[in-house]
Amino acid sequence: MTSGPAAFPTPAETAGSSVTPPGAAAHCVALTKRYGTGNTAVTALDAVDVAFSQGQFTAIMGPSGSGKSTLMHCMAGLDAATSGSLFIGDIQLGALDDRRLTRLRRDSIGFVFQAYNLVPTLTALENITLPSDIAGHPIDQAWLDTVVDTLGLRDRLKHRPNELSGGQQQRVACARALAGRPAIVFADEPTGNLDSRTGAEVLSFLRESVRRTGQTIAMVTHDPSAAAYADRVLFLADGRIVDEMYDPTAELVLERMKAFDADVPHAEVSWAEPAYVPPAPATAYAPPPAIPQPDLALPIPTAIPPAPQSTPPAPIPVAPAPASAPAPAPAPAAVAPSTNGPAPDGASAPDAVDMANWTDADWDDWLARKQTEGPGA
Ligand SMILES: Nc1ncnc2c1ncn2[C@@H]1O[C@H](COP(=O)(O)OP(=O)(O)O)[C@@H](O)[C@H]1O
Ligand SMILES: [Mg+2]
């Protein structure tokens, strides 16, 4: 194993500054994320420096609990860092107020979750265009057609998520992430719930979007054959980047994983993510479950392993980083209490920032109206 990658030159030089490594779509400097305090504190990310180059497809691998999801969520502004600096392009996330962070997430970041996180009451097409819809951005029809056709979704656009297979739902989720041509797409185990054939379709599309359109993608996976679609693989262990590999093949990645396991002689290293168990499919007439916020600040589906049986369930800390921490990112909208949002406003295009504060009831109202009026309303 090499002694850790020079993810980009001399982090010390860039620490605390806004110098963007050349060609980086996103990067972080000394990114640390700690959950909890005192004896129970967990350091999920330990001073990570990493850059994601424009037009590069990066896979992120590591044993379960090594911090992969935390890295994705912090980089995407969905979770607040404890310390360190995060940049999308040369915009520092910690310098943004909630409104600007929401806009940055909406306009510059795509996110694909293992659990799809589609809005159950909207059609595939409405799900794909929802972020643009919320933002009031015009749809780039030619690009949308390319995404839809490449993902093989043309004849599924009018279907609701519960009428689609898992692979189709994940392709819709990929289309939603790519439709706005974000600066970077983060994907956390996007093929974790898919059989190998549909998984390969999704991976091929992700790779093609990198090759053909210069899309930047960072994808967590535990599957060496999925990682082989990427240009580069980063290996995480205990919240640190411990290795990287360019032009990976499944065999080389597997070898590297075995070397990791050999480094931890007594522990059982699990590379697999816990499988996501989808809720029972909703019937057409059942009331929809709590509507996930369709801006990128969606609830985190499976990142949190269950507490050990022997300890009483502790509340999950969602407090933002202490004010004294350097450059904390603002708490994501997904965990902000949603109490004071204005009610959805009649016919005018909804304001995404206000929507970030909507209650479930607000969402129900708006989604009900969407269903009758259509996305253009
Ligand atoms: N919300 C949370 N509260 C407390 N600990 C957490 C939370 N989320 C993640 N962790 C802990 O942080 C570490 C990294 O988790 P995670 O990023 O989900 O790992 P991975 O995605 O690599 O499996 C783990 O030890 C995990 O238990
Ligand atoms: Mg994870």
Please tell me the residue having the least CA distance from ligand 1 atom 17.
67
Task: Please list the residues that pair with 232 across neighbouring strands.
Answer: 58, 246
Q: Is residue 309 part of a domain?
A: no
Judge whether 137 lies within some domain.
yes
| Banded model confidence at residue 151, pLDDT cuts 50, 70, 90 | confident
Containing structural domain, residue 341? 21-268+293-299+324-373
- 306 belongs to a structural domain: no
Q: Give the model's pLDDT for residue 365.
A: 59
Instruction: Determine the atom of ligand 1 nearest the C-alpha atom of 236.
Output: 22
Q: Which atom of ligand 1 is nearest to the CA of 62?
A: 22
Are 26 and 183 contacting, i.e. CB atoms less than 8 angstroms apart? yes
Smallest-distance ligand from the CA of 188: 2
Closest protein CA for atom 20 of ligand 1:
65
Is pLDDT of 93 > 60?
Answer: yes
The residues, any chain, with a CB within 8 Å of residue 117's CB and separated by 6 or more, are 173, 292, 298, 299, 301
Where residue 49 falls among pLDDT bands split at 50, 70, 90? very high
d(CA 72, ligand 2 centre) in Å: 9
CATH number, domain with residue 76: 3.40.50.300
CB distance 305 to ligand 1 below 6 Å: yes
- Nearest atom in ligand 1 to the alpha carbon of residue 71 is 17
For residue 66 and ligand 1, the question of a CB distance below 6 A is answered with yes
Distance CA 352, CA 333 (A): 11
- Residue 265 is predicted with a pLDDT of 55
Cα-Cα-Cα-Cα dihedral sign, residues 120, 125, 129, 133: negative
Whether 177 shows a pLDDT value over 90: the answer reads yes
Cα-to-centroid distance, 136 and ligand 2 (Å): 32
Ligand 1 closest atom vs CA 72: 17
CA of 15 to the centre of ligand 2 (A): 27
Distance CA(83)–CA(324), nearest Å, equals 9
Q: How many CA atoms lie within 13 A of 115 on its CB side?
A: 17
Does the residue 130 lie in any domain?
yes
The residues, any chain, with a CB within 8 Å of residue 150's CB and separated by 6 or more, are 205, 208, 209
Q: Which tops the pLDDT comparison, 360 or 139?
A: 139
Mean pLDDT across 38-66: 96
- Nearest Cα residue to 72 out of 57, 84, 60: 60
> 75 and 219 in contact (C-beta within 8 Å)?
no
Q: How many CB atoms lie within 10 A of CB 175?
A: 24
For residue range 210-243, list pLDDT tens digits in order.
Answer: 998 899 999 999 999 999 999 999 999 999 999 9
Distance 78 CA to ligand 1 centre (A): 14
Asked if the structure places residue 280 within a domain, the reply is no
Residue nearest to atom 12 of ligand 1 (CA): 44
pLDDT of residue 366: 52
β-partners of residue 111 are 186
For the record, the structure tokens of 314 come out as 């502790």
User: Comparing 59-63, 141-145, 366-370, which segment has the lowest mean pLDDT?
Assistant: 366-370
- Span from the CA of 68 to the centroid of ligand 2 (angstroms): 5
Distance CA 241, CA 231 (A): 17
Residue 91 lies in a domain: yes
65: Cβ below 6 Å to ligand 1? Answer: yes
The CA distance from 343 to 350, in Å, is: 10
* 90 assigned to some structural domain: yes
Q: Which pTM was predicted? A: 0.71
Does residue 62's CB lie within 6 angstroms of at least one atom of ligand 1? yes
Q: Which amino acid is at 347?
A: A
- Atom nearest to 66 CA in ligand 1: 22
- The answer as to whether 27 is a domain residue is yes
Q: Which of 374, 333, 375 lies closest to 357 in space, CA to CA?
A: 333
Q: Is there an atom of ligand 1 within 6 Å of 69 CB?
A: yes
Number of structural domains (the chain) is 1
From residue 209, alpha-carbon distances to 10, 107, 146, 191, 197 in Å are 31, 18, 10, 16, 19
Q: What is the pLDDT of residues 123-135, one digit of tens each?
A: 999 999 999 998 8
- 217 SS3 class: strand
Distance CA 217, CA 228 (A): 14
Strands 42-53 and 184-188: unpaired
Give residue 121's pLDDT band: very low, low, confident or very high (50, 70, 90): very high
C-alpha to C-alpha distance for 68 and 233, rounded to whole angstroms: 12
Output the CA 191–ligand 2 centroid distance in Å: 13
Question: DSSP letter string over 86-148?
Answer: EEETTEEGGG--HHHHHHHHHHHEEEE-TT----TTS-HHHHHHHHHHHHTPPP-HHHHHHHH
* Nearest atom, ligand 1, residue 33 CA: 12
Testing ligand 1's pocket by substitution, the residue of 66, 186, 304, 311 carrying the most ligand atoms inside 8 A of its CB is 304
Range 10-25 average pLDDT = 59
Beta carbons within 10 angstroms of residue 362's beta carbon: 19
